[in-house]
């Protein structure tokens, strides 16, 4: 039976979003369905005349390897706390009405924990919703991995590689602040792959004396430079993470973290008197071409979501459970975030190699 489905991308952009969009559109067209793209996340469903657009084969041509999202996205469009004329309102019923007025049979929401929590609320209101997990942070518990993470790790590793030669030439310490909010996956993976000497992650509160000891030991052993990879959510023992913008400010769904790299660099400078520089890699981690791994995972997620619609299996998120893509109830998918287990093989292996976690 022919269906009309819509899809949107919410929250921060992420490499692989276009590959998901392409997979959803292509597999829906194979089924003989109609597909509509919703622009700018959930806010598009508040303005269907201008922001819900029909999508055909030609709309997804040539986008498999392109970063970002052709549908646009925002992390300021939670319909349950929507900011309109400086006032916060619940406009979810308008979204629901518009969904029905458009005659849609399903809504695919591609996003991280924020977007998936909103999707879950709409599912509880009776909308046929399917979630697809996206985030470079890899912090969603119900899927082995999210798409975008692999690309972010590659981008961060590339930066660490490049910093080695300049750090060595100047005998400097370079502190690199990486993304990942409350999970240290990007910093841990890129830190190891990019040969960092110190890795600071939210899961292991650190002590500056330990960090400086490691740096001094390295210099005294004749390696007169050091690379410190610090996650934006890392915190010194007994302190909170530093952040620049709070949740809810400007209608934001998430806290924006930042500043720990500069703080660590200042401490190193004061305690060791080593020439120290800092760099926040920021959105470069999310930009550019998705890796082959992310393109494949995105494509599989998109195709699986369309299969779930055909089976009328709603209120779920598609998840990677190798070798399969499986449905997980949205309620369960958003319950827990996934942090780095401090006793995991990857942390143990890093310690064996002499990397310091500053603890
Ligand atoms: O969740 C993805 C992420 O890139 C985090 O790693 C980072 O803290 C945050 O988004 C940055 O958000 P924004 O793009 O709004 O600055």
pLDDT single digits (tens) 306-359:
999 999 999 999 999 999 999 999 999 999 999 999 999 999 999 999 999 999
Q: Give the tens place of pLDDT for each residue, 155-201.
A: 999 999 999 999 999 999 999 999 999 999 999 999 999 999 999 99
Tokens of 5: 């489905």
pLDDT tier at 255, thresholds 50, 70, 90: confident
Q: Which atom of ligand 1 is nearest to the CA of 255?
A: 8
Confirm or reject: Cβ of 135 under 6 Å from ligand 1.
yes
**Mean pLDDT, residues 223-234:** 97
Lowest mean pLDDT among 154-163, 222-231, 234-243, 298-307: 234-243
* Calpha distance 271→23 (Å, rounded): 53
Q: Which atom of ligand 1 is nearest to the CA of 139?
A: 1
**Mean pLDDT, residues 26-44:** 97
Confirm or reject: Cβ of 181 under 6 Å from ligand 1.
yes
Give yes or no for residue 1 having a pLDDT over 90: no
How far out from the chain centre does Cα 25 lie?
23
Cα 181 to ligand 1 centre (Å):
7
137 is catalytic: yes
**Pocket-testing residue among 137, 149, 177, ligand 1, by greatest number of atoms within 8 A of Cβ:** 137
pLDDT tier at 52, thresholds 50, 70, 90: very high
Cα 321 to ligand 1 centre (Å):
25
pLDDT given for residue 258 in this prediction:
86
Q: Which atom of ligand 1 is nearest to the CA of 112?
A: 1
Confirm or reject: Cβ of 180 under 6 Å from ligand 1.
yes
Q: Which atom of ligand 1 is nearest to the CA of 75?
A: 15
Confirm or reject: Cβ of 286 under 6 Å from ligand 1.
yes
Cα 154 to ligand 1 centre (Å):
17
Confirm or reject: Cβ of 12 under 6 Å from ligand 1.
yes
- Domain 4-147+290-333 and domain 152-287, same fold? Reply is yes
pLDDT given for residue 240 in this prediction:
77
pLDDT given for residue 105 in this prediction:
98
pLDDT given for residue 251 in this prediction:
63
Give yes or no for residue 253 having a pLDDT over 90: no
Q: Of all protein residues, whose CA lies closest to atom 14 belonging to ligand 1?
A: 12
Of the residues 113, 137, 139, 150, only one is catalytic, namely 137
Give yes or no for residue 291 having a pLDDT over 80: yes
**Mean pLDDT, residues 102-109:** 98
**Pocket-testing residue among 179, 250, 288, ligand 1, by greatest number of atoms within 8 A of Cβ:** 179
Tokens of 343: 């006793």
pLDDT given for residue 225 in this prediction:
98
pLDDT given for residue 179 in this prediction:
97
**Mean pLDDT, residues 241-255:** 67
Q: Of all protein residues, whose CA lies closest to atom 11 belonging to ligand 1?
A: 256
Q: Of all protein residues, whose CA lies closest to atom 8 belonging to ligand 1?
A: 181
Domain boundaries, the chain: 4-147+290-333, 152-287
Cα 272 to ligand 1 centre (Å):
32
Judging by beta carbons within 10 Å of its beta carbon (0-12, 13-18, 19+), is residue 184 exposed, middle or buried?
Answer: buried
**Mean pLDDT, residues 205-232:** 97
The CATH label, of 3.40.50.1370, 3.40.50.450, 3.30.565.10, 3.40.50.150, for the domain at 4-147+290-333 is 3.40.50.450
31 and 310 Cβ atoms separated by less than 8 Å:
yes
CATH superfamily, domain at 152-287: Phosphofructokinase domain (3.40.50.460)
Report which of residues 100 and 76 the model is more confident about: 100
**Pocket-testing residue among 254, 258, 288, ligand 1, by greatest number of atoms within 8 A of Cβ:** 254
Confirm or reject: Cβ of 74 under 6 Å from ligand 1.
no
Q: Give the tens place of pLDDT for each residue, 260-276.
A: 999 999 999 999 999 99
The whole-model pTM stands at 0.95
**Pocket-testing residue among 234, 256, 282, 285, ligand 1, by greatest number of atoms within 8 A of Cβ:** 256
Across the chain, mean pLDDT equals 95
Confirm or reject: Cβ of 136 under 6 Å from ligand 1.
yes
């Amino acid at each position: 039976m022919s269906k009309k489905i819509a899809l949107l991308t919410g929250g921060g952009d992420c490499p692989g979003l276009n590959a998901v969009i392409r997979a959803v559109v292509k597999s829906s067209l194979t089924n003989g369905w109609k597909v509509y793209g919703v622009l700018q996340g959930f806010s598009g469903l508040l303005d269907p005349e201008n922001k819900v657009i029909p999508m055909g084969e030609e709309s997804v041509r040539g986008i498999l390897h392109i970063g970002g999202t052709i549908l646009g996205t925002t992390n300021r469009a939670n319909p349950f706390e929507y900011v309109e004329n400086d006032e916060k309102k619940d406009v979810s019923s308008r979204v629901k009405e518009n969904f029905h007025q458009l005659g849609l049979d399903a809504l695919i929401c591609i996003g991280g924990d924020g977007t998936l929590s909103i999707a879950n609320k709409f599912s509880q209101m009776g909308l046929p919703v399917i979630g697809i997990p996206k985030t470079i942070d890899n912090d969603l518990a119900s899927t082995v991995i999210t798409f975008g993470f692999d690309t972010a790790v590659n981008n961060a590793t590339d930066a660490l590689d490049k910093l080695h030669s300049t750090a060595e030439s100047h005998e400097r310490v370079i502190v690199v602040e990486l993304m990942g909010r409350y999970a240290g996956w990007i910093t841990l993976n890129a830190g190891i792959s990019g040969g960092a000497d110190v890795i600071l992650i939210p899961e292991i509160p650190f002590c500056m004396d330990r960090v400086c000891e490691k740096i001094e030991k390295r210099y005294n052993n004749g390696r007169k430079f050091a690379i410190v990879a610090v996650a934006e959510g890392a915190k010194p023992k007994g302190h909170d993470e530093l952040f620049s913008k709070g949740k809810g400010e400007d209608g934001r769904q998430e806290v924006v973290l930042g500043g720990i790299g500069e703080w660590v660099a200042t401490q190193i400078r004061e305690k060791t008197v080593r020439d120290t520089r800092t760099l926040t890699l920021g959105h470069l981690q999310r930009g550019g071409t998705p890796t082959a791994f992310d393109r494949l995972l995105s494509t599989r997620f998109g195709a699986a979501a369309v299969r779930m619609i055909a089976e009328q299996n709603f209120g779920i998120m598609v998840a990677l459970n190798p070798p399969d893509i499986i449905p997980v109830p949205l309620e369960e998918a958003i319950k827990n975030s996934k942090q780095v287990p401090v006793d995991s093989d990857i942390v143990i292996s890093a310690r064996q190699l002499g990397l310091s976690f500053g603890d």
